[in-house]
């Protein structure tokens, strides 16, 4: 969709247009989105101090894809980034705290929260940090949260010590017809980090949600934000995040088609949704305590946490954003647009216009968009979603 069409469709807020200063702000906004700013000392300082030109590849994708809004962290398994699990103690912790606990700054919340009145959150009458059959493996291949001999209906989205992803499920008792009772059960001892939850969305490319029919309630069948983690067909990339306007039953096919997922697990959504990216807390305030988080670590922090020296991978390193390294002009333009957003917030209120601005810019991110524009819009969306930093 062309930018002029976006303007006519999305910026029809009477209160905004009634204010001539806001009209001027918005006109400047559109001009700046279409043109490059001049390179200057301000841009140079921005380049030096606010942007990390890392060769390791990790990014956050905030866009509309397949007709749905998404906010997804992408981690390429290039030997420089690793995905781990950080569990909380009794009473939970914020996703920010769980990320910092293991040396990370990028994370999402993990499995379903366990309220005090849920009877299946106890083992032998004692409260645990996780439901009976949820396991959180802590990085030494042995320590894990309380569990019994099987994983019940839950499967464990797992990583071995080299960071290779795989599923494990082991049921020693009764299980639903059509529900696989053993998935890589012989690999239980290979799990270095893992988190258990349900339903499994995709298993080796197959939609298996139908096997969980009796466990999927009305809320899961309704359209809402849905959280997930998945690995791609070749296992080279991990995606984790939020897909908007989705039901649990239709989520597997979406993930397979639009993110090339092969193995995927549903995570907790709703009020427990929390995401942090490079030290920025995105879109959840006040912060709710959760029981675990899935965290991205760089190689140094992974080695520090585990004591391991993972095998180096011979993969092509991607620099910048999808191969694009922003210029000082790009960075200067970004800072000017941030200042413009602040002016709009100051005059009209952040709570009133944060969502419309997110919707507008996210709708402008299309596959055919030049990379410099994709980078700019992505940075603006990160800024708009950010509620705090640490």
DSSP 291-317: SEEEEEEEHHHHHHHH---PPPP----
- Using CA atoms of 59, 64, 66, 70 in order, give the dihedral in degrees to the nearest 10: 50
Q: Each residue's pLDDT tens digit in the chain (390 positions)?
A: 444 433 433 443 334 334 454 455 555 555 555 554 443 434 333 433 344 444 457 899 999 999 999 999 999 998 889 999 998 877 788 999 999 999 999 999 987 554 444 344 333 333 333 333 444 555 555 545 444 344 456 788 999 999 999 998 765 344 455 555 577 777 878 888 988 888 999 999 999 998 888 878 888 899 999 999 999 999 999 999 999 999 999 999 999 999 999 999 999 887 778 899 999 999 765 577 888 899 999 999 999 999 998 887 766 667 678 888 899 999 999 999 999 999 999 998 998 899 999 999 999 998 889 999 999 999 999 999 998 888
pLDDT of residue 6: 37
For tokens 């006109």, name the residue: 27
**Conformation bin of residue 139: beta by default, left when phi > 0, alpha when psi is -120 to 50:** left
- Of 270, 271, 274, give the one whose Cα is nearest residue 283: 274
Q: Hey, what are 201's tokens?
A: 């969305």
Which residues are within 8 A (CB) of 198 and not within 5 positions of it... i.e. 6 or more apart? 153, 154, 155, 212, 215, 265, 266
Enclosing H/E stretch for 4: helix 3-10
Q: What is the phi/psi pair of residue 107, to 5°? A: -165, 165
CB atoms within 10 A of CB 215: 14
pLDDT of residue 384: 96
Q: What is the phi/psi pair of residue 9, to 5°? A: -85, -35
pLDDT of residue 366: 85
Q: What's the rounded Cα separation, in Å, for the pair 370 and 162?
A: 35
Count of positions (residues) in the chain:
390
For tokens 């020693």, name the residue: 172
pLDDT of residue 15: 40
Q: Hey, what are 4's tokens?
A: 């002029």
Measured in whole angstroms, how far is the alpha carbon of residue 385 from the centre of its chain?
A: 13
pLDDT of residue 135: 47
- Using CA atoms of 358, 375, 235, 175 in order, give the dihedral in degrees to the nearest 10: 0
pLDDT of residue 234: 92
Strand partners, 11: none
Question: Please, is 380 exposed, middle or buried when counting C-beta atoms within 10 Å of its C-beta (0-12, 13-18, 19+)?
Answer: buried
Q: What angle do CA 87, 91, 95 make, to 5 degrees?
A: 45
Q: What's the rounded Cα separation, in Å, for the pair 237 and 59?
A: 11
Q: What's the rounded Cα separation, in Å, for the pair 260 and 373?
A: 24
pLDDT of residue 41: 38
pTM of the predicted structure, to 2 decimals: 0.81
Biggest alpha carbon distance in the chain? 69
């Amino acid at each position: 969709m062309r930018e002029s069409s976006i303007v006519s469709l999305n910026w029809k807020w009477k209160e905004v247009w009634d204010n001539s200063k806001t009209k001027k702000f918005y006109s400047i906004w559109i001009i700046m989105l279409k043109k490059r700013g001049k390179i200057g000392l301000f841009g140079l300082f921005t380049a030096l101090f606010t942007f990390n030109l890392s060769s390791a590849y990790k990014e956050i994708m905030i866009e509309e894809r397949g007709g749905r809004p998404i906010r997804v962290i992408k981690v390429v398994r290039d030997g420089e980034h690793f995905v781990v699990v950080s569990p909380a103690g009794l009473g939970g912790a914020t996703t920010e705290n769980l990320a910092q606990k293991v040396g990370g700054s990028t994370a999402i919340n993990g499995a379903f929260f366990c309220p005090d009145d849920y009877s299946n959150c106890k083992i032998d009458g004692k409260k645990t940090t996780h439901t009976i059959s949820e396991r959180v493996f802590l990085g030494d291949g042995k320590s894990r949260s309380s569990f019994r001999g099987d994983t019940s209906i839950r499967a464990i989205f797992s990583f071995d010590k080299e960071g290779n992803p795989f599923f494990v499920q082991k049921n020693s008792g009764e299980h639903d017809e059509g529900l696989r009772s053993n998935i890589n059960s012989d690999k239980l001892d290979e799990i270095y980090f893992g988190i258990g939850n349900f339903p499994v969305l995709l298993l080796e490319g197959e939609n298996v949600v139908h096997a969980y029919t009796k466990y999927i309630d009305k809320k899961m069948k309704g359209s809402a934000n849905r959280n997930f983690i998945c690995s791609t067909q070749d296992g080279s990339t991990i995606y984790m995040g939020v897909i908007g306007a989705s039901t649990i039953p239709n989520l597997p096919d979406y993930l397979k088609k639009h993110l090339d997922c092969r193995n995927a697990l549903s995570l907790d959504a709703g009020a427990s949704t929390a995401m942090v990216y490079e030290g920025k807390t995105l879109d959840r305030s006040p912060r709710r305590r959760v029981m675990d988080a899935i965290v991205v670590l760089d190689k140094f922090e992974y080695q520090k946490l585990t004591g391991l020296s993972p095998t180096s991978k011979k993969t092509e390193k991607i620099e910048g954003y999808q191969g694009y390294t922003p210029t000082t002009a790009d960075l200067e333009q970004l800072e000017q647009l941030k200042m413009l957003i602040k002016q709009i917030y100051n005059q009209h209120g952040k709570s009133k216009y944060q969502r419309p601005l997110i919707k507008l810019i996210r709708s402008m991110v299309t596959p055919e968009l030049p990379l410099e524009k994709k980078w700019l819009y992505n940075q603006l969306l990160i800024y708009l979603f950010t509620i705090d930093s640490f």
